[in-house]
Amino acid sequence: MMIVMKPGATPQQVENVISYVIDLGLTPHLEQGVENVFIGLLGQNYSIPVETLEALEGVQQVTRISQAFKLASRQFQSEDSVFPLAGYNVGGNDIILIAGPCAVESRSQIIETAQAVREAGANALRGGVFKPRTSPYAFQGLGEQGLEFLAEAGQATGMPVVAEIVSETQLEVMLKYVDVLQIGARNMQNFYLLSAVGQVRTPVLLKRGPAATIEEFLMSAEYILTGGNRHVILCERGIRTFETTTRNTTDINAIPALKALSHLPVILDPSHSTGLSEYVPAVARAAIAAGADGLIIEVHPDPPRALSDGRQSLTPEQFAELMHQIRAIAEAMSRKIARVGHNLSDGW
Amino acid sequence: MMIVMKPGATPQQVENVISYVIDLGLTPHLEQGVENVFIGLLGQNYSIPVETLEALEGVQQVTRISQAFKLASRQFQSEDSVFPLAGYNVGGNDIILIAGPCAVESRSQIIETAQAVREAGANALRGGVFKPRTSPYAFQGLGEQGLEFLAEAGQATGMPVVAEIVSETQLEVMLKYVDVLQIGARNMQNFYLLSAVGQVRTPVLLKRGPAATIEEFLMSAEYILTGGNRHVILCERGIRTFETTTRNTTDINAIPALKALSHLPVILDPSHSTGLSEYVPAVARAAIAAGADGLIIEVHPDPPRALSDGRQSLTPEQFAELMHQIRAIAEAMSRKIARVGHNLSDGW
Amino acid sequence: MMIVMKPGATPQQVENVISYVIDLGLTPHLEQGVENVFIGLLGQNYSIPVETLEALEGVQQVTRISQAFKLASRQFQSEDSVFPLAGYNVGGNDIILIAGPCAVESRSQIIETAQAVREAGANALRGGVFKPRTSPYAFQGLGEQGLEFLAEAGQATGMPVVAEIVSETQLEVMLKYVDVLQIGARNMQNFYLLSAVGQVRTPVLLKRGPAATIEEFLMSAEYILTGGNRHVILCERGIRTFETTTRNTTDINAIPALKALSHLPVILDPSHSTGLSEYVPAVARAAIAAGADGLIIEVHPDPPRALSDGRQSLTPEQFAELMHQIRAIAEAMSRKIARVGHNLSDGW
Amino acid sequence: MMIVMKPGATPQQVENVISYVIDLGLTPHLEQGVENVFIGLLGQNYSIPVETLEALEGVQQVTRISQAFKLASRQFQSEDSVFPLAGYNVGGNDIILIAGPCAVESRSQIIETAQAVREAGANALRGGVFKPRTSPYAFQGLGEQGLEFLAEAGQATGMPVVAEIVSETQLEVMLKYVDVLQIGARNMQNFYLLSAVGQVRTPVLLKRGPAATIEEFLMSAEYILTGGNRHVILCERGIRTFETTTRNTTDINAIPALKALSHLPVILDPSHSTGLSEYVPAVARAAIAAGADGLIIEVHPDPPRALSDGRQSLTPEQFAELMHQIRAIAEAMSRKIARVGHNLSDGW
């Protein structure tokens, strides 16, 4: 970190800054320039907010040279994080393909969908049971019964299951049923929830908030990592911009940027990032071509009858067609779709 | 709500849409145009997400004519909501002026600040005790001890106190100490928390999320109102845009827009909406001139030593100077700053 | 400007950077830190793009300490720019109030409007004659005939006239008729046009682009100033954000920020920044309370029949009512509305 | 278009709306709903701005059912536009790959770059000669001499050349040298310039403005098409958002959206849309996987010495490596890179 003092800063102001940073446990490094005094800071400075230093008298500008996050960074760990999930690896050469409905609506709906996406080549099953909805009048999810149905569908098809947790009070019940805990976009900065999932060892799929910068996204991952849970999957799901043709704007730049800044696996959710089922295949292919480690895609047996997100859900047939396209792009990238099947007899 | 069918929509598709909306409890109203069939919907349609209808086959477009929120709307209640707080009214002709530090840091810090802002004319005291921080390495607040200090400072100065609640698990302890529950910007769509504070009768200061539209903001207020708590104060605190000169962009348009769309009191937080103390006075004056019902402003006895948000905090002297300006603008608007003082002997 | 080299940067890389900046006419100032080498740059470095230096091998980061603009800055000129227009001053204690229709539609329309706004207290007249329209099918303006009508209306009422120039090829004809040349938001970075109006001495009203940062806005002003024309009025007119309730988002922060960074007069256009006539008064008052030096407001004798921007135009009656409010806020700010009238006999 | 009247709209207000739209040449179609009157509009209504109708008294809301553009739309022409350029097709199954420096800096620089990118497989050459720069102090381009060098480099390598036109006054000189006229992002709504290039028959590469919606982008294409020039190439180049890790945010959704809404060829500029050379390959691959018809990429023989955009330029070696990757993705999409070579002897 580098502090630039104002041209006319007094010796007393410089001294104040120096004693202030020493109190923070940092080593200041003074340099008298021609117009400005510069103070370099050595030590564990990722914990010091820039704005605090900028509030000191006589300070003109503070520049962070190293990053504000540590455990999530490539500097901390240069090789990719890879961890096992249901007999395959997340984050290595294989591609994870999570599919399923926005919400678990009934036992038959989730089992039917699970079988269809499994047959098409998905290797994990998603389904929401506690739905955070913009309107208090909208369907709010099946709760624990939904978890039971989801877990049953996962077991029947040999796929690990992913569901969203929206409050730390649900952690115990979620852990009984799910293989991956999802933190939704609206909760990306629910720090109590992040800390709670940092205490367990179940993998966490962390979605980027619609207005979160890439740095803030990695800071939220850092909350989980500092708790000791190293199994974090980063998920780009579109950001909010002025464009209204699509529900969100897919930040495809985030794929190479996150891969460069962090060692964590990175996936994309083209269903939310576009909001329109007809654009999902193009953006799903783009993500794999950009180097994403996987996708999470909404599939519903009858999208117009879906209780939520019907407009962005693929039919099982559309999903199967997309899987063919994804395989072709993955091959061009010298990668392949991970396969489950260890507890299935049919050799899929 | 109005559904426009595609030009070539089949009779079967039209019939499907009609039976679908009847299932939702709505009365469809069919109109055969020259190119399109139009289906008007009557009934309690604010609970129907537009995108669900758009997913039906043959549908070209769905337009919401009435608003997606009800209890928060001017249609539902045409006169302004006004409710009492510590001997004065929120939401009427009087202006509420909440001041205090970002975080309660010590007993002396909060008491000293409370006395200073009270003397300058503030009528409520703010102070954070559970701080949601972007970085896991930053100061996280004093917790319940902070609440004790805050309540003591409020009692000593006769001011009601405002503190942020970040998890529904804190509700019980918060209610022991605070007069107004604040929901922070990052929790604007934490629907469990919104539902929880809807169950009590303590006023709620609801901050707009940095990427929330005005409609979404009012939908979050609706969550609280549907629980039965009608004492909601809306707070604009800046939105996230491409501009980086300031921390956020103050959406001053939101003041007249919220007043037009809703009957709830509307205040502005110029500290967060600018992020720079030198711009706080100008934006505070602007808010009152635009018709806001109050302000919430960060004041710290020694901003450079603040443990958070020092860059945007006023000193007590700067705050006192600002109060003079605010009074002048309020007078030009034929309004005045609400006064506390019922449990003080000095006749303030 | 400060260049931070990467931790492992080679001596050869450092030497390359040094010889590179010497070629640019700058004086490098080397400092060997513990992990990084720092190179401070002295001299006229506002002309050096940061990204060019960041492309040099071994460079980690480049920070601009001084601003990228010079003539427009407060550093260059600490006192406010004030210049005369039609017998009053722009940029001093007086407030400029430009009113009139979006487009000149007919002789009678512009004369009628001019008389109405003059009577209400406006001190300058606006009217577009070459309209940049999003759609090629929309009304494109009356051209030179419109200029004649506008000039006649200005003379009849004693008000200076403002019209938008959209191409440098129109400069000659515009100068025959107008007192202030307006550069519209879409042309804020039309550098040929900026350079052209920099060559004349007629005041320029420069609108901020809807996606321009404050720094870019001031850089565009710099284009005009470097040509020798020092009479530039900065106009905030709303930026593009995710919010759709209003046409644009009024960046009220920009008022104090521009006043702090630059000595040029700053006005606001609440008609475009809100897009809805019902919100214009609140935002107009807010601008004056925030310290703006004036306003430009769309007024039309019959808004629903306006050929453009009817939705955001005030009627003459609404404008007159707004003038009362503006006067009250101006008084609270110890300012007053400038008055024209030197060539009128009625003593207005 | 559909006009919804307010619940209590008077018969006189309804009649006014009807006579108003008849004056516009439209056929109103009245429908008395239970609460609202609806007025459907038939006819060439793409030329009617929604906001004009919304300004009429008694109108609650106006919804555009058909699009605001016509000639650019898929409705107008369902099959893809394909047109010849230098012996291959733009917009069909082949992929156009335009490469070259941001600015032509010298004869040797452009010829050297042209040979390198041609050898790697590019099929068109770019190079700026009139540079629109944010700062008046930055390099502004070589002007006509640059055009000569560019044309010579194009002829030497058999590639068509692309250069940006920034003013309609340059049209004559540009047409002497270039094969494709580029309209830059800052000029996307310079309607005089759009109209001017609509009058010629040279293909136009139209870049999307950084804050332009997809609809506005297509409206700008419509300006060119209405002039009679049907050879328009749409180019996504990143939009401005709150994210600062990258220079712009690549709107990858725009690729399938533009292909769905329009018949015009669509390409992507990953150099500007990321701003960082290390992210260009990932985003270039993503564009082809998403269905783009081509790419325009900045390549410079010595990026750190580039007079502009060095930070986002690839070296010839990096470009050659990227071409291998692009070919693999194109093949997975059953497409191929177009080849020039008709006036070269080596059979490339």
Position C269 in a domain: yes
Residue B102 lies in a domain: yes
Max mean pLDDT among B10-14, C73-77, C296-300 falls in C296-300
Band of residue B348 on the pLDDT scale cut at 50, 70, 90: very low
Is the minimum CB–CB distance between D68 and chain C shorter than 8 Å?
yes
User: Residue D246's closest chain A neighbor by CA?
Assistant: A253
**Cβ–Cβ gap D63/B60 under 8 Å:** no
Please check whether residue B329 touches C, CB under 8 A. Answer: yes
**Partner C, chain B 246-265, Cβ-Cβ below 8 Å:** 246, 249-257, 260-261
Stretch A120-140: mean pLDDT: 86
Q: Give the model confidence (pLDDT) of B102-145 as tens digits.
A: 999 999 999 999 999 999 999 999 999 987 777 777 777 888 99
pLDDT in tens, C299-312: 999 888 888 878 89
* Burial class, C260, CB count within 10 angstroms (exposed 0-12 / middle 13-18 / buried 19+): middle
Measured from the Cβ of residue D8, the count of other Cβ atoms closer than 10 Å reads: 9
pLDDT recorded at residue C34? 64
Tell me which chain C residue has its CA closest to the CA of residue B212: C243
Percent of chain C with pLDDT over 70: 94
CA torsion angle for D70, D71, D73, D74 (degrees, to 10)?
Answer: 120
> With contacts defined as CB-CB under 8 Å, which chain D residues touch C318?
none
**3 state DSSP class of D312:** helix
Residue A280 lies in a domain: yes
pLDDT in tens, D194-251: 999 999 999 999 999 999 999 999 999 999 999 999 999 999 999 999 999 999 999 9
Cα separation, B117 vs B153, in Å, equals: 11
Shortest Cα distance, chain C CAs vs residue B175, angstroms: 34
* Residue D328 contacts A where some CB pair is shorter than 8 Å: yes
Q: Are residues D118 and D257 in the same domain?
A: yes
- Which residues of chain B are within 8 Å of residue D29 when distances are taken between CB atoms? 33-34
A-facing residues of B in 217-246 (CB < 8 A) are: 219, 222-223, 226, 240
Neighbours of A244 (CB within 10 A): 11
- Cβ-Cβ contacts under 8 Å, C247 against chain A: none
Statement: residue B191 has pLDDT above 60? yes
- Residue D266, pLDDT above cutoff 80: yes
Backbone φ and ψ for B123, nearest 5 degrees, come out as: -125, 10
Whether D76 is in a domain gets the answer no
Percent of chain A at pLDDT above 70? 94
Question: In which residue are the tokens 């609108």 written?
Answer: C207
B305 within some domain: yes
- Say which of C60, C241, C242 has its CB closest to residue A65: C60
Chain A interface, best mutation among D219, D247, D252, by max A CB count within 10 A: D252
Kindly list the residues from chain A whose CB atom is less than 8 angstroms away from the CB atom of residue B57: 304
Average pLDDT of chain A to the nearest whole number: 90
β-bridge mates for residue A37, sequence order: A32
What single-letter amino acid sits at B139? F
Question: Does one domain contain both C158 and C232?
Answer: yes
Whole-number pLDDT of residue A46: 60
Q: What average pLDDT does the segment C291-302 reach?
A: 96
CA-based R_g, chain B, Å: 23
Average pLDDT value for residue range B337-345: 67
Closest chain A residue to D255 measured between Cα atoms?
A282
Q: Is residue B122 part of a domain?
A: yes
Nearest CA to CA, how far is C151 from chain A (Å)?
38
Looking at the complex, report in whole angstroms how far the Cα of residue D311 sits from the nearest Cα belonging to chain B. 21
Cβ of D190 under 8 Å from any chain C Cβ? yes
The answer to whether the Cβ–Cβ distance between C249 and B245 falls below 8 Å is no
Residue A75 inside a domain? The answer is no
CA D258 remoteness from chain centre:
10
Considering only CB atoms, which chain D residues are within 8 Å of B61? 63, 65
Sheet with B27-32, strands from edge to edge, namely B27-32, B37-42, B2-5, B59-63
Q: Give the range of the structural domain holding residue D157, as residue numbers without chain letter.
A: 83-337
Out of A35, A240, A242, name the one closest to residue C240 (CB).
A242
Per-residue pLDDT, C43: 62
Give pLDDT, residue C347: 38
Contact across the interface for D65 and B65, Cβ inside 8 Å: no
Residue B212 lies in a domain: yes
Gap from D310 CA to chain B (nearest CA, Å): 23
* Confidence check: pLDDT of A346 > 50: no
pLDDT at C68: 73
Task: Clarify whether residues D36 and D87 are in a common domain.
Answer: no
Choose the weakest-confidence range: C87-91, C132-136, C206-210, D86-90: C132-136
Please tell me which residue, A196 or D305, carries the higher pLDDT value.
A196
B260/C241 touch (CB, cutoff 8 Å), yes or no = no
Name the residue in chain B with its Cα closest to that of C292: B282
Please indicate, yes or no, whether residues C185 and C331 belong to a single structural domain of this protein: yes
CB atoms within 10 A of CB A25: 11
Tell me the average pLDDT across C147-169. Answer: 95
Q: What is the CATH number of the domain that holds A16?
A: 3.30.70.1140
Q: Across the interface, which of D33, D63, D242 has its CB nearest the CB of B241?
A: D242
- Residues B37, B167: one domain? no
Kindly state whether residues A50 and A117 are assigned to the same domain: no
Residue A149: give its domain's CATH number.
3.20.20.70
Nearest CA in chain B to D243: B242
Supply the pLDDT for residue B267. 98
Binding partners of A (≥3 Cβ pairs within 8 A): B, C, D
B33 and B180 fall within a common domain: no
**C35 lies within 8 A of chain A by CB:** yes
Is residue C213 within 8 angstroms of chain B, CB to CB? yes
Whether C99 and C145 map to the same domain: the answer is yes
Q: What is the mean pLDDT of chain D?
A: 90
* Contact check, Cβ <8 Å, A311/B223: no
**Chain centroid to CA C17: how far?**
37
Q: Which residues of D touch B242 (CB under 8 A)?
A: 240-242
C63 touches chain B (CB under 8 A): no
3-state secondary structure of B208: coil
Contact C55 D310 (CB under 8 A): yes
Same domain, residue pair B162 and B300: yes
> Are the beta carbons of C2 and A38 separated by less than 8 Å?
yes
Q: Which residue(s) pair with A20 in the sheet?
A: none
For residues A130 and A143, is the Cβ–Cβ distance under 8 A? Answer: yes
Query: Under an 8 A CB cutoff, do A34 and C36 touch?
Result: no
Is A336 an 8 Å CB contact of chain D? no
Nearest in space to A134 (alpha carbons), one of C120, D55, B311, B68: B68
Residues of D with Cβ-Cβ distance to A291 under 8 angstroms: 282
Claim to verify: residue C257 and residue C186 sit in the same structural domain: yes
Give CA separation, C87 vs C96, C98, C177, C229, in Å.
Answer: 12, 15, 18, 19
Q: What is the pLDDT of residues B147-162, one digit of tens each?
A: 999 999 999 999 999 9
Kindly report the nearest CA distance between residue A16 and chain B, in angstroms: 10
Write out chain D residues lying below 8 Å of B240, CB-based: 242
Q: Which of C63, C64, C247 to probe by mutation at the A interface, max A CB count within 10 Å?
A: C63
Number of domains within chain B: 2
Could A65 and C36 be called an inter-chain contact, meaning their C-beta atoms sit closer than 8 Å? yes
pLDDT band at A66 (very low <50, low <70, confident <90, very high): low
pLDDT at residue D347 tops 50: no
Q: Are residues B46 and B166 in the same domain?
A: no
Amino acid at D15: E
Average pLDDT over residues B251-274: 97
The residue-averaged pLDDT of C49-73 equals 80
Do both B98 and B12 map to the same domain? Answer: no
